[in-house]
Copies of this chain bind each other. A is one copy, B any other.
Amino acid sequence: MTRDSNRIPSMVKNRKLVEERRAQIIRGAQKLFMRKGFHKTTTREIARECGLSIGTMYEYIQSKEDVLYLVCDHIHSELETRLKEALSVTETGRESLNRAMAQHFKVMGELSDWVLLIYQETKSLPKKARSVILQREKEVTALFEEILQRGIQDNTLRLDPSSVSLMAHNIMVLGEMWTFRRWALAEHYTLEEYTRQQMAWLLRECTN
């Protein structure tokens, strides 16, 4: 599941075990990173939280930053999985867009702390790992680009081709925005009301 899990070397050979233990590590670390942030979480805390000894944990990772990478990768996998659940090629572009956006906003509501973690800690990743994570964000954005293209093709959406990429980014950001502006938005809007208005706006623009 965690797609790039295998990019990180492990001392332990047994693939199954590695998968399993890393899932433990991700679960524990994610919890702590969300509560205290990456830098204020110690490796020992992570080990304790996921029920491994510090030595055992290090059999499955090479550095603390690996843990952050695993967590970020896992979150992106989760986001991608959830979004893809709502995708279907049998629909019109417009219908697809509607469903995908709805799902995107729903997921942002449900996993808002996870997404916030991505926003706040991606910069703590080493260069290489960071660009992998950013690449994944691009891929998700590309899902919306494809939908928009399809809508243009099947004439259910009207949008200047030069705006396709931008609009895809806008959809992503206006969804993610709930995660990092909830502290202000929630004063005026529920997630549902927020979703309704933003989707209406986005859809209107894509209709013209």
| A residues in contact (CB < 8 Å) with B | 37, 39, 119-120, 123-124, 134, 137-138, 141, 162-163, 165-166, 169-170, 173-174, 177, 180-181, 183-185, 188-189, 194, 197-198, 201, 204-205
Chain B residue with the shortest CB-CB distance to A188: B165
Pair A197/B120 contact, Cβ less than 8 Å: no
Q: How many angstroms between the C-alpha atoms of A201 and B163 in the bound complex?
A: 10
Q: How many angstroms between the C-alpha atoms of A174 and B166 in the bound complex?
A: 11
Give every chain B residue within 8 A of A170 (Cβ-Cβ). 174, 198, 201
Q: A134-B183, A138-B184 are in contact. Are A123 and B37 (CB under 8 A)?
A: yes
Give the residue of B166, B183, B205 whose beta carbon is less than 8 angstroms from that of A205.
B205
Q: How many angstroms between the C-alpha atoms of A163 and B194 in the bound complex?
A: 9
Q: How many angstroms between the C-alpha atoms of A204 and B204 in the bound complex?
A: 10
Task: Specify the main secondary structure of chain A where it touches its partner.
Answer: helix
Pair B141/A184 contact, Cβ less than 8 Å: yes
Chain B residue with the shortest CB-CB distance to A44: B11
Pair A169/B197 contact, Cβ less than 8 Å: no
Give every chain B residue within 8 A of A162 (Cβ-Cβ). 197
Q: How many angstroms between the C-alpha atoms of A180 and B119 in the bound complex?
A: 9
Q: Name the distance in Å between A178's Cβ and chain B's nearest Cβ.
A: 10
Chain B residue with the shortest CB-CB distance to A205: B201
